[in-house]
Structure 1
């Protein structure tokens, strides 16, 4: 387990950052008055995600690989970080939707219906089960790509 301690540490930090970000969204009115801007505002968290991957893989390179990391090693570290994040997303979703913003789904359903979607479609999309599945698969797909890109930039360059 020590082999992946850095990835586990950063996966847990990511989960706390994500919950904090969701709390900021709620406090800023993106689940009520500014609900039409919610999707755009949420995209800003991509920069936080990129930062976490960069710092985690850079720490892995420095502390574990002693500044000599191949792309494959960096990518593997990033993929393991991705798995940790994906495993923590259901817990984060439950905390968020049950404790922080229980009004999120009803408000999103009403907003979606006001934009012309049927109530059934909106209800099927905006619910805890759907969001847990979306967050797991979103974390896995985006995380693997992000891990590969960050590892590419952080790999040790071979001097010729």
Structure 2
């Protein structure tokens, strides 16, 4: 456990930042009155997510590798952060859709039906907690590994 304490810390911070972001989205009306803008505006979280991975790998390099970290060491560390994020994603989605924004699913279902994107059955199946947990977990794994692969290039020690 001690070997991955930094990754655990940053995985938890990543999840916490995502929950704070959901509170911000909700407070700005992106889950109700401005729902049609949600898909675009939610992309503003991407730089924050990338920054967390950058800070995690810098922390790992400085703390555990005394300022010298290879690309592979950075990659492994970032993948561990990603695994922690993926493990915690179902809990994060549950908290988001049960406590922070329980009306999000009914609102997005209604909007999707009204705008003709889906019929009611499709919308209810797509916009459900189980489906969002699955989608979010897959997305977190893919983007975490991709982000780690790129960030590790810049964080690694040269020479």
TM range (shorter): over 0.9
TM-score, L = length of structure 2: 0.98
Post-superposition Cα deviations, 1:136-156, rounded to whole Å, max 9, x if no partner, equal 111001100100100011000
State the TM-score, normalized to the length of structure 1: 0.97
Give the ranges of 4+ consecutive aligned residues of structure 1 lying more than 2 Å apart after TM superposition.
Answer: none
Aligned equivalent of 2:59: 59
Which ranges in structure 1 are unaligned for 5 or more consecutive residues?
none
Partner of 1:38: 38
- How far residue 115 of structure 1 moved from its aligned partner, in angstroms, is 1.9
RMSD across aligned C-alpha pairs, in angstroms? 0.7
Alignment: residue pair count? 158
Report the counterpart of residue 103 of structure 2 in structure 1: 103
SS at match of 1:65: coil
2:77 aligned partner: 77
Is there any run of 5+ residues in structure 2 with no aligned partner, and where?
Answer: none
CA-to-aligned-CA distance 1:106-144 (integer Å, 9 cap, x gap): 000011112212111111110000000011111001100
Query: In 2, distance between residues paired with 1:101 and 1:31?
Result: 7
Q: Say if 2:27 is the partner of 1:27.
A: yes
For each residue in 1:21-56, what CA deviation from the matched residue of structure 2 results, as whole angstroms up to 9, or x when unmatched? 001100100011100100111111111100000000
